[in-house]
Chain A
Amino acid sequence: MDRERLAYQVAEILLRHLPQGAEPSAVEAVAADLVRLLEAQGGEAAATDEPSGRRLMVLTVLGRNHSGIVHAFSEVLAEAAVDIVDINQTIVHGNFAMMMIVDPTSSKLSFTDLKAALKHRGDEVGVQVFVQYEDLMRALNRI
């Protein structure tokens, strides 16, 4: 949220709660102080609220269908603090295909380690795992 809009909203709240006839310049001054305070407090959170330029990853899992596959991978992702942005799963002729778009921004693991952990989990549950940044999907499928 940009600064101007925030200041406008704070001023609106003040006007709603203050008695009629409050000095507009005083309201503005209080609003400005509050905005500065809010920014100092939650500046970082506000900045990541709408992350720009985040680089998402695509995780594709292919193999024979059996129970617990989705759980197996969401567990690895949760432990690494990787956010699942989107998930799509289907069965084609008894074969399980799952595609996840995940956000590794706050991951505890490096890309290489995360990829290794997911591949390792794939071996454990007997499915094939492909992990890559979304760059290629974007480039190949969007003109």
Chain B
Amino acid sequence: MDYTRREILETLRMTELEHFDVRTVTIGVSLLDCGHEDPEEAGRRVYAKLMRVAGPLPGVVAEITEALGIRVANRRIAVSPVALIGTRAEPASYLAIARAIDRAAQEMGFDFVGGYSALVHDGFTRADRALIASMPEALSTTKTLCSSVNAGSSRTGLNLDAVRLVAHMLKETAYLTRESGSLGCAKFVIFANAVEDNPFMAGAFHGIGLPEVVIHTGVSGPGVVCQAIRRAGPCDLRALAEVIKRAAYRITKVGEILGRQVADKMGVPFGIVDLSLAPTPELGDSVGEVLEAMGLERTGACGTTAALAMLTDAVKKGGVMATSAVGGLSGAFIPVSEDAAMIAAVREGALSLEKLEAMTSVCSVGLDMVAVPGDVSEELLTGFIADELAIGIINHKTTAVRVIPAYGKRVGESVSFGGLLGEAPVMDLRRLSCEAFVRRGGQMPAPITSLRN
């Protein structure tokens, strides 16, 4: 027999018992040819192109997952940053496009579409300003649309004015979606060093350097890593790293084989596998649980940052062996509301925002799905976001903030979004003022390390 009994049974254990699924198959679609001076016409073009290009994907994915014996949690679309679709630079124009995208996605059965985005890391165009101004209404009146802003990069520094605009926008979105726990904010993320080929939401967009259409996959698999660590028992760190690498290899390989087969069948190029460990709120599918299996009493204990650093690094090392098309964010995600062990750690007071911020310096991606009290000021929110983005800019990595200033909620309460987005306990933010600092505005200069040529 070509395969040993052990190999076959181990493969089945992974797919059947350990919550393994491929988190997302994301089709990237360029919308740069859909622009029109009349926004309604631009919307019609966007709708038509999405229906034509992305329409076959759900069927193709269903067929291939059946044949391979694996599950795919989500099918998603990433579109070109919408601010780049040439149309009249007014908020209403972009709302027409937002509605067209949302309608297409819902008709085809996609759960999220990313790319209602502006890249403003070194300043705004008129289109960027109009798009950002339209975001509160777009996020509160559509279901599938996800939005992002890239406000800084290691080459350009930080556009603090963009962060202030975003803070203002988030407060407004939180208010408009107050009936659903300020859900609108969960569909928006602000980045430093955003990547063009990220398949995960809310930050996916189809970068301008990519082909017309492309297929990316994003794997998941904290459950598989966690079980492997538990089976390994009390080994030393070098041996533990080996265990994690092996698990990451297997997880990534599945993402690669699935992505390639889907791309082949669709007749489009295969892009990348994002080998991030992405948790779900489901028990047994948690990055926090992996950290705890490594030997921490709770996520947030001393040693958490070190454990996470080692985990992220080992995942990358295992992953690159499995595919030569690694991309996206590729690390470990620590979204609070989407991870059962993280939620528990916050509720018990083990995990604070400051510790979470420290953790983001060693993993992708950032402060993800954290809820803060609804009464925090725009200035405070600006400072909070700027801190996280500075970590990314100085360290040449992607960082992001997906924060929910939950309208009408106080520390100790929580907001529940259901499904994959989970439940976020409202966390405390230091109330010391940073107003005089953020009101200075302008562009924080690029770091000295940007001069690499």
Which A residues lie at the B interface, using CB under 8 A?
58, 60, 62, 86, 88, 90, 97, 99, 101, 111-112, 115, 130-141, 143
Q: How would you classify the secondary structure of chain B's contact residues: helix, strand, loop or mixed?
A: helix
- CB closest chain-B residue, reference A141: B7
Contact between B1 and A140, CB atoms less than 8 A apart: no
- The CA of A143 and the CA of B320, in the complex, are separated in Å by 12
Would A99 and B68 be within 8 Å (CB), given that A140-B11, A140-B254, A141-B11 are in contact?
no
Bound-state Cα–Cα, A115 to B12, Å: 16
- Contact call A136/B7, Cβ cutoff below 8 A: no
Contact status A97-B68, CB under 8 Å = no
B interface residues (Cβ-Cβ under 8 A, vs A): 1-3, 5, 7-12, 14-16, 66-70, 250, 253-254, 256-257, 261, 321
Q: Taking the nearest CB of chain B, how far is it from the CB of A128, in angstroms?
A: 9
Are the CB atoms of B69 and A131 closer together than 8 Å?
Answer: yes
Least CB distance, A130 to chain B, in whole angstroms? 6
User: Do B250 and A133 touch across chains, with their CB atoms under 8 A apart?
Assistant: no
Please, could you name 14 A-B residue pairs with CB atoms under 8 Å apart, sorted by A?
A: A58-B8, A62-B12, A86-B1, A88-B1, A88-B5, A97-B5, A99-B5, A133-B67, A133-B69, A135-B261, A136-B11, A137-B11, A139-B253, A139-B254
Check A60–B12 contact: CB distance below 8 A: yes
**A99 CB contacts on chain B under 8 angstroms:** 1, 3, 5, 8
Is the pair B67, A111 in contact by a Cβ cutoff of 8 Å? yes
Q: Is the CB of B2 within 8 A of A60?
A: no
Whole-angstrom CA separation of A112 from B69 in the bound complex: 11
* In contact, A137 and B3 (Cβ under 8 angstroms): yes
The reply to whether A140 and B68 contact each other, CB–CB distance below 8 Å, is no
User: Is B250 a contact partner of A140 (Cβ separation < 8 A)?
Assistant: yes
Known A86-B2, A88-B1, A101-B2; judge A136-B9 contact (CB<8 A): no
Closest residue of chain A to B65, judged by CB?
A132
One of B5, B68, B321 near A136 (C-beta < 8 A): B68
Are A132 and B68 within 8 A (Cβ)? yes
> In the complex, which residues of chain A have a beta carbon less than 8 angstroms from the beta carbon of B68?
132-133, 135-136
Q: Which residue of B lies closest to A130 (CB)?
A: B12
- 10 nearest interchain CB pairs? A132-B69, A141-B7, A86-B1, A139-B253, A139-B257, A137-B3, A133-B67, A99-B8, A140-B250, A88-B1
Q: Across the interface, which residues of A come within 8 angstroms of B253, CB to CB? A: 139-140
Which residues of chain A are near B254, meaning CB under 8 Å? 136, 139-140
Q: How many Å lie between the Cα of A138 and that of B261 in the bound state?
A: 14
Interface centre among B1, B3, B9, B66 (most CB of A within 10 A): B3
Give every chain A residue within 8 A of B250 (Cβ-Cβ): 140
For the A-B complex with A60-B12, A97-B5, A99-B5 known, give 5 more contacts whose Cβ atoms are closer than 8 Å: A60-B8, A134-B2, A135-B257, A136-B15, A139-B257
CB distance from A112 to the nearest CB of B (A): 6
Distance in angstroms between the alpha carbons of A99 and B253 in the assembled complex? 22
Residue from B5, B10, B70, B256 in contact with A90 in the complex, judged by beta carbons closer than 8 Å: B5
The minimal Cβ–Cβ distance linking A143 to chain B, given in whole angstroms, is 7
User: Once the chains are docked, how many angstroms separate the CA of A90 from the CA of B253?
Assistant: 28
* Contact A137 B8, beta carbon cutoff 8 Å: yes
Inter-chain CA distance A82–B14, complex, in Å, is 27
Which residues of the other chain, B, contact A137 by a CB distance below 8 angstroms? 2-3, 7-8, 11
